[in-house]
């Protein structure tokens, strides 16, 4: 079973230089998830809306109903947010989302995705296929290879090695995750302004769906088994206080899990775009790819005045 969870809000944007209107962005990104659900079995979608405009809530409800997909809503009520910036306000719905996740069955998949991630129709299906491949590679192929090397090191014959491997049923239980965005700031190119900050050593692996690299950062959007959230609940709960002295940002919280406790991977040629700033255009995409995907996910409730996509080419020149 796959559970998709999105937190929506069009009241304010954490990103001040967003390339699209926030209301329209959330509608089209949700619509792109609904299209993905057409290619999936045994999936549901839970949307937590944090006091969005009446227009947005009505439009959101209609596109979900018209999709005929299994969607549930949690429309949060008003609360006192005086003196809180948009990021601090967003932490309330983070707690609601994770409390929901902690009650899901351990072996179910959870894809928690922000409301500004635009998907190609097969993006989530590809994530699931890739997860299966990486899990097999890390937890089955890896232990077999380790055994093979250890037998070689003590002079075991190839025939005996083959016999032992044929009887070997061991596997490890390393947790695997998928971050669907190609986070360009992690790549070492000359015009990268965050070269000294985000770029770190990584492992690159070929998979049936393309090349993936290990990552230490995930923009709070990723797919994991539900049991991983429960196993590391104390760390995930710290997402509720990012932006405070307790935890400045994601890098002070769940990033400590990626690599140490969870093998987290991101695609080098993704089927998802983070519709935040121009430099989030995936490394292998051209502007026309983003423009077409944006157009393909227009809804019957899209307003012309909200529909511009403003990519700044000078910000994405490598």
pLDDT at 191: 82
Evaluate whether 65 touches 301 at the Cβ level (below 8 Å). Answer: no
Average pLDDT, the chain: 92
Burial readout 111-130 (b: 16 or more C-beta within 10 A, e: otherwise): bbbbbbbbbbbbbbbbbbeb
Q: What is the pLDDT of residues 51-85, one digit of tens each?
A: 999 999 999 999 999 999 999 999 999 888 888 88
Q: What is the pLDDT of residues 94-142, one digit of tens each?
A: 999 999 999 999 999 999 999 999 999 999 999 999 999 999 999 998 8
Structural domains of the chain, ranges and CATH numbers in brackets = 2-302 (3.90.550)
pLDDT at 244: 75
Evaluate whether 278 touches 293 at the Cβ level (below 8 Å). Answer: no
Name which of 187, 161, 209 is nearest 318 in CA terms: 187
Q: Give yes or no for residue 193 having a pLDDT over 70.
A: yes
Which DSSP string do the residues of 239-270 spell out, in sequence order? Answer: GGGBTBTTB-SGGGTGGGTBTTTEEEEEESS-
Calculate the alpha carbon distances from 163 to 131, 154, 156, 167 in Å.
29, 16, 11, 7
**Cα 271 off chain centre by:** 11
- How is residue 238 written in tokens? 């710290």
pLDDT at 16: 64
Q: What is the pLDDT of residues 266-285, one digit of tens each?
A: 999 999 999 999 999 999 99
Cα–Cα dist 236/255, whole Å: 10
Q: What is the pLDDT of residues 195-252, one digit of tens each?
A: 888 899 999 999 999 999 999 999 999 999 999 999 999 999 999 888 777 767 888 8
């Amino acid at each position: 079973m796959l559970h998709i969870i999105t937190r929506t809000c069009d009241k304010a944007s954490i990103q001040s230089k967003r390339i699209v209107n926030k209301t329209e962005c959330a509608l089209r990104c949700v619509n792109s998830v609904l299209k993905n659900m057409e290619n999936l079995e045994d999936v549901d979608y839970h949307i937590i809306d944090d006091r969005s405009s009446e227009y947005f809530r009505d439009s959101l409800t209609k596109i979900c109903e018209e999709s005929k997909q299994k969607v549930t809503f949690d429309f949060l009520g008003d609360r006192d947010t005086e003196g809180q910036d948009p990021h601090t306000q967003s932490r309330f719905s983070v707690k609601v989302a994770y409390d929901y996740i902690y009650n899901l069955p351990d072996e179910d998949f959870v894809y928690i995705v922000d409301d500004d991630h635009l998907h190609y129709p097969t993006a989530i299906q590809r994530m699931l296929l890739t997860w299966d491949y990486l899990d097999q590679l890390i937890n089955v192929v890896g232990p077999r290879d380790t055994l093979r090397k250890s037998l070689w090191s003590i002079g075991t014959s190839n025939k005996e090695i083959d016999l032992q491997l044929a009887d070997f049923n061991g596997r490890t239980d390393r947790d695997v995750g998928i971050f669907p965005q190609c986070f360009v700031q992690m790549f070492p190119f000359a015009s990268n302004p965050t070269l000294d900050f985000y770029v770190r050593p990584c492992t690159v692996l070929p998979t049936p769906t393309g090349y993936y690299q290990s990552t230490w950062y995930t923009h709070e959007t990723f797919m994991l088994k539900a049991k991983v959230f429960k196993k590391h609940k104390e760390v995930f709960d710290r997402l509720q206080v990012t932006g405070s002295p307790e935890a400045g940002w994601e890098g002070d919280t769940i990033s400590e899990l990626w690599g140490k406790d969870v093998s987290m991977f991101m695609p080098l040629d993704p089927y998802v775009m983070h519709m935040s700033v121009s430099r989030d255009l995936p490394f292998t995409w051209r502007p026309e790819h983003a423009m077409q995907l944006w157009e393909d996910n227009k809804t019957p409730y899209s307003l012309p005045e909200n529909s511009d996509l403003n990519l700044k080419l000078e910000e994405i020149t490598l």
